[in-house]
Amino acid sequence: MPITPPDPGLPCPADPSGSAAVWSLLRVWALALALSTALVAAGERWPQPLTPDGRWVWALVLGLPLLMGLWLWSRWGSARGAGNPDRGESVN
């Protein structure tokens, strides 16, 4: 099956290979690198090693995803039943 170009009458999504996407990726990467550098510097200056507390570890590992899930679940009904006749962006 040959690949055909999209219909010119349909709106075209933004080009993911554009320079804006590259700059956005570089900005996020630089922010992550700066945060990592700051954490390493803080770890080298910390006076004593931290002992992990099981309650805090489990609260961070399970609590934050559960809170995110509850937030998504609370907004799920308002997004689905908003009375918007447009049910998606499928063109098929």
**Domain segments of the chain: what residues?**
18-48, 50-79
pTM of this structure: 0.40
As a whole number of angstroms, the distance between CA 90 and CA 12 comes to 13
**Which distant-in-sequence residues (6+ apart) come within 8 Å of 20 by Cβ?**
14
As a whole number of angstroms, the distance between CA 55 and CA 88 comes to 42
- CB atoms closer than 10 angstroms to residue 67: 10
For the record, the structure tokens of 36 come out as 């990592």
Condensed to tens digits (0 to 9), the pLDDT of residues 24-72 reads 999 999 999 999 999 999 888 888 887 889 999 999 899 999 999 999 9
